[in-house]
Amino acid sequence: MYVVKSPFADADLKTVAEALQSALVDLVDLSLVAKQIHWNVVGPRFRSIHLQLDEVVASARTHSDTVAERASALGVPPDGRAATVASGSGVKTTPAGWIKDTDAVGTMVDALGAVITRMRERVAATGDPDPVSQDIFIGITADLEKHHWMFQAENA
């Protein structure tokens, strides 16, 4: 059933829909991973990392909403359910329990790196069929790369 019909050809819509859906999953998971670490980080740099993690959570949530609304605008129902996120995310599972500040930073560097790599693939995939979605992915990538840089600098 189509509630909203996209103007794209079926093949183009499939490419863009897959890119948007996988981006949504990665961004939702990134926000969950950052919040999990936020609650469990310990160590001498607790406060600064704790606050920095909330910045990632806010960015990931904002971007996930942008991506989901773009999907909806194209007639693709976004799926951010827990099972969908758990089965489709490119982010590794976060360790349970307390996490030392240096390990927390390392985990975030890895998580951001994984999402950035996949986001750049989406930038490439959507250039021809939908420059508007590509532009969204470019903006998200730039923002995530800034967070990535800042976390890398934490453990330099």
pLDDT per residue as tens digits for the range 71-103: 999 999 999 999 999 999 999 999 899 999 999
Q: Supply φ then ψ for residue 95, to 5 degrees.
A: -65, 150
**Residue 95's pLDDT is what?**
87
Say how far apart CA 2 and CA 103 lie, in whole Å: 46
Q: Comparing 156 with 44, which gets the higher pLDDT?
A: 44
* Bridge partner residues of 99 (DSSP): 41
Helix axes 101-126, 10-40, angle to 10 degrees: 170
Q: Which residue has the tokens 């310990």?
A: 42
- pLDDT of 1 reads 53
What is the C-alpha to C-alpha distance for residues 80 and 30, in angstroms, rounded to an integer? 12
How much is the pLDDT for 79? Answer: 98
Mean of the pLDDT values across residues 125-141?
A: 98
- Name the pLDDT band for 6 (thresholds 50, 70, 90): confident
